[in-house]
Amino acid sequence: MNSLDIIRMGLKNLWRRKLRTFLTILGVIIGTSSIITMLSLGFGMSDSFQKEISNIGSLNTINVMENYGMGGPGGGSLNKKKVYLDDKAIKELEEIDGVEVVTPMMDLNMKIKTGKYSAHINLRGIDPETMEAFDFKLEEGKYLKKNDTFNLIFGGSIKHYFYDEKRTGGSFKEPNIKPLKDKFTMNFNLYDENGKEKTPKEPMKVNVVGVLKEGDFQKDNYVYMNIKQVEKLKKEQQKLDGNRNRQNGNNKNKYSQILVKVKDVNRVAEIQKKIKDMGYEAYSLNDMLESLNKVSLTIQGVLGGIGAVSLLVAALGITNTMIMSIYERTREIGVMKVIGAQIKDIKRIFLFEAGTIGLLGGFMGIGISYGFSSIINFLGRNVNMLGYGGGPATETKLSIIPIWLVFAALAFTTLVGIVSGYYPAKRATKLSALEAIKTE
């Protein structure tokens, strides 16, 4: 018998018992759709985590800080030489293989005013030439320049910080601040010994030249300035605030923190470990993503296991259907043997029928899975997996079916069908031809 004869005979046998074939295929459909839908929820969860963490900040940026730890995971070691955030650290970090760019940061508490409104801000000094490299995305305006002095860039949320100091009681109404048009002054945020705010000098006139897009939680709440100018302001602040300066006299760190951008996001963990081995503390958003992905994989495994149980039941259904088919077709099998059909051809017929049931069930199950996935994504389109509010709206898919999963499911269900039909096929080949013909 050639392959075409086997296909024709197999399809004819399945069609002859339509109801039983359909019920068996239905079991495979349920199993396949269960597994794919469950796994798609895991894939969707991982993708949502990555998108939402990307909104918090860049995944290939490492924050380097002074290590205050006393040993243990992620902490410092008593045997390591103490390191500080200074120019020497900048050079060391720049020399690490895989690092694209490094920038120091310096923070100052300041007070900024426009008209009757004021805001207490964290002024952050940064190298202007590195802002684009570190994914500072402008909503309006322009970036800082190398020679800028009193030019500022507002983080996306700074405009919400302003308030009327003289207003008491009543409902609060957020002022309509226009950063690029309004005139601003800035002064040091200092207090006297009684905790009363003091004005140590004449306010500085500053210009806001740009506003960052809101939604990056690592950048939203800072006002950025050329780090060279911030360094001058810091020295001036220390002179004006003698008491605080004496308290912080032992701090040998020149910078508040250092940002390191890695060329390849897949090497972030490796380079982060090198930085920790040098004696610094370092963290990146990949730490959070890695933890969340572990949770996602665990959930995915549990959900996939639940779906696998359904497919196992379907496999038993295929085996049962094929065994019943043998009992009903015993005489037919005997006749085939008598007229010269080879044993391997009889086996191939039964394996083809079992494989076809698995293939059809898998194909229909995939279609149903896409339907379930669309419904889940429609109902959960506004779900925020991490619970962060604000920021730009991002498309959220709770269920994602990658194309490789479709082909894997078809191959797997077909294989399950063939394996389930192997025992019945082997049993059919062992029937005695004479005994089979005698069967009524």
What DSSP string runs through 194-255?
Answer: TS-EE--SPPEEEEEEEEEPTT-TTTTT-EEEEHHHHHHHHHHHHHH-HHHHHHTTT---SS
Say if CB 406 and CB 366 are below 8 A apart.
yes
List the domain range (segments joined by +) for residue 408: 3-56+291-438
Residues 39 and 119 in one domain: no
Q: Tell me if 276 is assigned to some domain.
A: no
Residues 238 and 122 in one domain: yes
Residues 345 and 238 in one domain: no
Q: Tell me if 405 is assigned to some domain.
A: yes
Please count the other Cβ atoms lying within 10 Å of the Cβ belonging to residue 119. Answer: 20
| Among candidate residues 357, 349, 314, the one with its CA nearest the CA of residue 425 | 349
Q: Tell me if 273 is assigned to some domain.
A: no
Average the pLDDT over 308-312 and give the result: 80
Q: Tell me if 225 is assigned to some domain.
A: yes
Residues 232 and 300 in one domain: no
Say if CB 321 and CB 373 are below 8 A apart.
no
Average the pLDDT over 340-364 and give the result: 83
Which one of 247, 263, 279 terminates a domain? Answer: 263
Most confident range (mean pLDDT) of 63-72, 289-298, 417-426 is 417-426
pLDDT of 199 reads: 66
Q: Tell me if 373 is assigned to some domain.
A: yes
Percent of the chain clearing pLDDT 90 (strictly above): 26
Q: Which amino acid type is present at position 169?
A: G
Whether 145 has a pLDDT exceeding 80, the answer reads yes
Q: Tell me if 283 is assigned to some domain.
A: no
Mean pLDDT of the chain: 81
Number of separate domains in the chain: 2
Burial status of residue 291 (CB atoms within 10 A of its CB: 0-12, 13-18, 19 or more): exposed
The Cα–Cα gap between 93 and 359 comes to 55
The Cα–Cα gap between 125 and 237 comes to 14
Which one of 213, 247, 263 terminates a domain? Answer: 263
Say if CB 383 and CB 44 are below 8 A apart.
no
Instruction: Find the DSSP H helices in 329-432.
Output: 330-338, 343-379, 403-429
Most confident range (mean pLDDT) of 220-229, 284-293, 301-310, 373-382 is 220-229
Strands 151-154 vs 117-126: parallel, antiparallel or unpaired: unpaired
Whether 247 has a pLDDT exceeding 50, the answer reads no
Say if CB 278 and CB 77 are below 8 A apart.
no
Residues 93 and 136 in one domain: yes
pLDDT of 393 reads: 47
Residues 93 and 240 in one domain: yes
Answer positive or negative: Cα dihedral of 281, 282, 287, 288.
positive
Q: Tell me if 114 is assigned to some domain.
A: yes
pLDDT of 192 reads: 63
Which one of 263, 282, 311 terminates a domain? Answer: 263
Residues 165 and 213 in one domain: yes
Residues 26 and 87 in one domain: no
Intra-chain end-to-end CA distance of the chain, in Å: 26
Q: Tell me if 200 is assigned to some domain.
A: yes
Whole-model pTM: value is: 0.64
pLDDT of 74 reads: 41
Residue 243 banded pLDDT, cuts 50, 70, 90: low
pLDDT of 79 reads: 46
Whether 195 has a pLDDT exceeding 50, the answer reads yes
Q: How many residues are recorded in the chain?
A: 440
Residues 50 and 121 in one domain: no
Whether 280 has a pLDDT exceeding 70, the answer reads yes
Residues 244 and 103 in one domain: yes
Residues 44 and 69 in one domain: no
Residues 89 and 203 in one domain: yes
